[in-house]
Amino acid sequence: MTPLWTSDEIEAATGGRAQGAFAVEGVAFDSREIEPGDLFVAMKGEATDGHLFVAGAFTAGAAGALVSEAITGPHVLVGDTAKALDDLGRHARQRSRARICGVTGSVGKTGTKEALFAALDRFAPGRAHRSVKSYNNQTGVPLSLARMPADARFGIFEMGMSAAGELSALTRLVRPHVAIVTAIAPAHRAFFASDEEIADAKGEIFEGLEDGGIAIIPYDSQHRDRLAAAARPHAAEIRTFGLGEGADIRALDVVASPAGGSLVTASLPDAELTFTISQPGEHWVSNALAVLAAVQVMGGDLAAAGLALADMAGLKGRGERRRIPLAGGEALLIDESYNANPVSMAATLKTFSIQPVRGRRIAVLGAMRELGADSDMFHAGLAQPLEAARVDYAILVGEEMAPLAKALGQRLEISHVPDAASAIGLAREAVAPGDALLVKGSNSIGLAALVEALADGKS
């Protein structure tokens, strides 16, 4: 099997100096993620220095290391490992003949990226590559590029940002043939004065489009025209997706499926497709339409995409459904613990409202972070969707949730606690057989620990 990188190729790509010949099958900068045959990139950060973990990486099976200090063992020595990782990612993109798609958005980008990968991998098994987890920042994107096999047929890369200019740099590294913006929402409002500024920052993804590139934007967004204006100087074609009449890729009919997802009939340029989405909620209909738009222009197969969407399981922290064993039965745990903003909270609660349940609906909602001066308003604004979701009991986690607790008053049974650890016992005590338990909040609030504690039966 052809290796991902040889030491000679790493040396040429980074301008470093190789010590010892080696070949690698993967790349990682976290020594805890090293697999046998990987290249370990020793990054220097504010909190720690990857060079301290080189020995452990070799013990875990690393075949070589990319370092800026002399070490014992096969390695490539460079002046700056962060720059060298960028160089490695850039070289991976230069040598690739794959069709590349970049995905961004305030909500839905990870789910859309995973669904697009599933669709293209079903069409060309083993020939599709994507960024794993949410490796979508200044280190995650070059790492994901560096991991792309030279013979990949498709590459899908998630790109995130928390400031203007960040996506501009990332997209010029990825150089996509297709660029998707899933949706615009008030995420990272601590760093932007308005949603319009967020739309402008997301629109930077179009700046890296290759000649003949295609922009895919949400038709139903109030920022559609703004995104189109950002795309127009860089894209040869703009395609829209959505529910509204006039969208290029449009859901003509959406019916709830018995399994909890949706049965969708969609109209596309020169095609019509009826398919099932395994994941529940209107937001997943939107995600699926964006996926179909990308599949069509990237040369994939729409029928294979429909099958992939029907088979797709929930993502950990982003809708994964787990059963909690309890005395006398079990409860449903819906894990949305990875991220939250006002739009995704409202969408998830709306989906929760139609979840069939024999017992009670219980919601553990964590604070939404990085909302800036409007944080109190956005949190208080969750009162209406929370009540509309017919939630019987809500556990609110984090001091930012105080405005929501005040807005709800006595209209709903609630508990307000300072942190995730304090919520574990309350959730464990509240949940009973037949209940449905939704857990959602910003990743930094730590509700993933609550999910694992409940799923493992720990208190």
Instruction: State how many domains the chain has.
Output: 3
Question: For residue 91, is it within any domain?
Answer: no
**CA 149 – CA 136 distance, rounded (Å):** 18
Q: Is residue 380 part of a domain?
A: yes
For the chain, percent of residues with pLDDT exceeding 70 = 99
Chain segment 301-324, per-residue pLDDT in tens: 999 999 999 999 888 888 889 999
Q: What is the CATH number of the domain that holds 116?
A: 3.40.1190.10
* Residue 89 counted as domain residue: no
Q: For residues 13-25, b (16+ Cβ closer than 10 Å) or e, as one string?
A: bbebebbeebbbb
Residues 105 and 154 in one domain: yes
Q: Is residue 90 domain-resident?
A: no
- In the numeric block, which tokens belong to residue 137? 């920042």
Same domain for 296 and 328, yes or no, is: no
The CA distance from 54 to 40, in Å, is: 7
Are 120 and 260 in a shared domain?
Answer: yes
Q: Answer whether residue 66 is part of any domain.
A: yes
**CATH number, residue 47:** 3.40.1390.10
CATH number at residue 392: 3.90.190.20
Which of 279, 311, 343 finishes a domain? 311
Is 147 contained in some domain?
yes
| 166 lies in the same domain as 273 | yes
Residue 246 counted as domain residue: yes
Percent of the chain with pLDDT over 90: 85
For residue 423, being part of any structural domain is answered with yes
| Residue at a domain's end among 266, 290, 311 | 311
Residue 112 has pLDDT above 90, yes or no: yes
Average confidence score pLDDT of the chain = 94
Residues 103 and 203 in one domain: yes
Residues 139 and 278 placed together within one structural domain of the fold: yes
- Cβ neighbours of residue 285 under 8 Å, at least 6 residues apart? 243, 251, 254, 262, 264, 277
Q: Which of 281, 311, 341 is the last residue of a domain?
A: 311
Q: What local confidence, expressed as pLDDT, does residue 89 receive?
A: 97
26 with 137, same domain: the answer is no
Residues 296 and 324 occupy one common structural domain:
no
Question: Are residues 20 and 148 located together in one domain of the fold?
Answer: no
Domain interval for residue 422: 320-456
What's the confidence (pLDDT) of residue 313?
A: 86
Evaluate if residue 61 carries a pLDDT over 90: yes
- 219 and 350 housed in the same domain: no
130-179 pLDDT per residue, tens: 998 778 999 999 999 999 999 999 999 999 998 899 999 999 999 999 99
Per-residue pLDDT reduced to its tens digit, 36-50: 999 999 999 888 899
Question: How far is residue 185 from each of residues 107, 256, 281, 282, measured CA to CA in Å?
Answer: 7, 25, 17, 15
Over the stretch 410-439, which tens digit does the pLDDT of each residue have? 889 999 999 999 999 999 999 999 999 999
pLDDT of residue 221: 96
Q: For 244-286, how does the pLDDT look when each residue is reduced to its tens digit (9 = 90+)?
A: 999 999 999 999 887 788 999 999 999 999 999 998 888 999 9
Same domain, 297 and 158: yes
Q: How confident is the model at residue 1 (pLDDT cuts 50, 70, 90)?
A: confident
- In the prediction, which pLDDT does 432 show? 95
459 pLDDT tier (thresholds 50, 70, 90)? very low
Residues β-bridged to residue 282? none
Q: How far is residue 140 CA from its own chain's centroid?
A: 12
Residues 287 and 363 placed together within one structural domain of the fold: no
Per-residue model confidence (pLDDT) at position 457? 63
* Reported pTM: 0.88
pLDDT value, residue 125: 97
